[in-house]
Amino acid sequence: MFLLWGKYIRKYYPRFVIFFLIGLAALVTVDFYQLKIPEIIGSLVTELSDNGTIDLQSQFFIETIIQVVIVAVVLFVGRILWRVSLFYASKRIEENLRKEMFLKAEQLDVTYYHNNKVGNIMSWATDDLEMLQEFLGWGSLMVIDGSFLTVLALVKMFQLNYSLAIIALVPILLIALAGALCEKHMSLRWRLRQESNDRLYDFSQESFTGIRVIKAFVKERQQIHNFRKLAEENRDANVRFTFVSVFFDVLIEIIIMLVASIIVGFGGWFVYATVTGSPINIFGTDIILHAGPLVTFQGYFFSLVWPMIALGQVITMFSKARTSYRRIANFLDLPIEIKDPENAVNKEITGDIRFNHFSFTYKEANKPALEDITLDIKKGELVGIVGGVGSGKSTLVNTLVHLYNVEKGQIYLDETDIMDLSNESIRNAFAMSPQDNFLFSGSIKENITFGDIDDERLSESLLNSDILKDLEGFEQKEETVIAENGATVSGGQKQRISLARAFYKDSPILVLDDVVSAVDLKTEKTILSNLRKARQGKTTIIVASRVSTVMGVDKVIVLNKGKLEAFGSPKELEKTSETFSRMVLLQKISAGKGDR
């Protein structure tokens, strides 16, 4: 009953079965010796009843002390052994599942992250995984320990006195019935609680990421108010779940104490009747019970208290773990859109690119973002892409690096269809500085090299991206630690650090998506000059928002509302492209106003 058997978790059971078996053996041994304690106490009571005292020098007392020592040693060693075994296995399964989730998150395409919030994944990878680990560790303990201890105790209780043993069965049956009734209700409450957690995670993550916007628009009070509403909703969801869980626990405690009182009452009556010589007759059988066996029986019963409480807790835990597993499984079940085709081609790309009547439509869009694009980019060419807002410039380069799937026969790298190439071949061929220029929390050097440090190549990358003069102003130079997403550097510095990262990779094809929009014209001119020198013989594509960026390139792609308006040298396009000539004119007018 209490076993998670989904495909993402059952595959780990054979891998860690040895640890579960060791834990099982240790638990059974501990349970067996734990039931020696009531027997020892019962024998002491019997000795006192028969003789009125215990001789500390007697063989009986010495044997009793030896038994106590053996039981203590076995319990000590056994409890250490099952803790190490079960908790190690549960932690390793949690670790492997977390790694699997992380790899899945890496494989999901950008569309998923456009439509889903990161806070959800954070919640699944923390709260839900921890719940699974808790069930696999403590839950396994409760199921194994509770089952074996209950069976062993009941066998001994029936051997000692079947009448009282039948009474002791009552709480077990009642708890099982109550658990079956409460389990689905608790699963629902836990799911609602976790969904509330997701919303709280989402809001917190977005608020911290956008803290500068919140401060700039003086929206702190509004955010606090919104957070309070989500926090209260989360609190209420937790309270509702806790109410059901605690109610169940209290119900179990009441049942156990009531039955314990009945056993003491009936047991005392049986002992009194036996001592007075008029034993109680039940179903034609005289119940003979003395004080020692009664104490032993009570010890057996109170040994059942933990399994009965554990039964209630494991029902609650299983409800939570099953719900958490389903959330994790739903995430891991998501299809991988960007993946290698069967018989994927692995090859080293040199830099030739061909678009053959290429069209692309986003899943959620009603019309194509790009339509009927046909052009050739030769190895070693420096190519610019210009166009108005929403003309498809970023879409063109994003499909080129296979961030989205495209139709076969429309994009070729070195005359090989991009949909036939392995992702590794494509990603190795490209270095890219995207429009958002994301920087990680860490040093500037770490952001550029990702730990694969080549000092000479790093120096060249810093020089080519024209960031060296900025680093001189930092005390730690390239070792300067920056905040997440470059919050502690300027927009221009952020762009140039991202550009240095792309230079550092030194791939056959370099794609720069609007990477000089935040720098002045002088810095832009320096970067473009360095770019032409550093990238000789290698293909480079620059997406630009201002025409000055592409005036020195070999060819320019002009996009207009998703269509290819023109493709040629800048001088040619000034004569043949209306969009390009207008951009040049507007830049001259802007420069003239600036001069005045």
Token pair for 87: 């908790």
Name the maximum alpha-carbon separation found in the chain: 123
Torsion sign across C-alpha atoms 501, 502, 504, 505: positive
From first to last of its 596 residues, the chain has per-residue pLDDT tens of: 467 888 999 899 999 999 999 999 999 999 899 888 888 888 888 777 767 677 777 888 888 889 999 999 999 999 999 999 999 999 999 999 999 999 998 888 888 887 777 777 888 888 889 989 999 998 888 888 888 888 888 888 888 877 778 877 877 777 767 766 676 777 778 888 888 888 888 888 788 777 878 887 788 888 899 899 999 998 988 888 888 878 877 877 787 778 778 778 887 888 888 888 888 777 666 777 778 888 888 888 888 777 777 776 787 788 888 888 998 999 999 988 888 888 889 999 999 999 999 999 988 788 889 999 999 999 999 999 998 888 888 899 999 989 889 999 999 999 999 999 999 999 899 998 887 778 887 888 888 888 778 888 888 888 888 888 888 877 778 888 887 666 677 777 888 888 888 888 889 999 988 877 767 778 888 888 888 888 888 999 999 888 888 888 899 999 988 899 999 998 888 888 888 888 888 877 766 554 44
The angle subtended at Cα 117 by Cα 113 and Cα 123, nearest 5°, is: 125
Q: What angle do CA 543, 549, 552 make, to 5 degrees?
A: 110
CB within 8 Å of 252: residues ≥ 6 apart = 171, 175, 178, 308, 309, 311, 312
The helix/strand/coil state of 417 is strand
Task: Please report where in the chains the tokens 């029936």 appear, as a residue.
Answer: 158
Looking at the whole model, is its pTM more than 0.85? Answer: no
The answer to whether the Cα torsion of 446, 450, 452, 454 is positive or negative is negative
Please choose, from the candidates 82, 81, 90, 98, the residue with its C-alpha nearest in 3D space to the C-alpha of residue 16: 90
Tell me whether residue 589 is exposed, middle or buried, using C-beta atoms within 10 angstroms of its C-beta: 0 to 12, 13 to 18, 19 or more: exposed
H-run or E-run covering 111: helix 110-115
| Calpha distance 303→217 (Å, rounded) | 63
For CATH 1.20.1560.10, the residue range(s) in the chain are 7-332
Bridging pattern class, strands 509-513 and 430-433: parallel
Instruction: Give 177's contacts (C-beta < 8 A, 6+ positions apart).
Output: none
Map tokens 């409890």 to a residue.
79
Which residues of the chain form CATH 3.40.50.300? 353-595
Task: Say how many CA atoms lie within 13 Å of 65 toward its Cβ.
Answer: 9
CATH T-level assignment (fold) for domain 7-332:
ABC transporter transmembrane region fold (1.20.1560)
> Which H or E element spans position 213?
helix 211-216
* Partners of 384 in beta bridges: 542, 556
Terminal Cα distance for the chain, rounded:
83
Q: Dihedrals φ, ψ of 115, to 5°?
A: -100, -10
**Architecture of the 353-595 domain:** 3-Layer(aba) Sandwich (3.40)
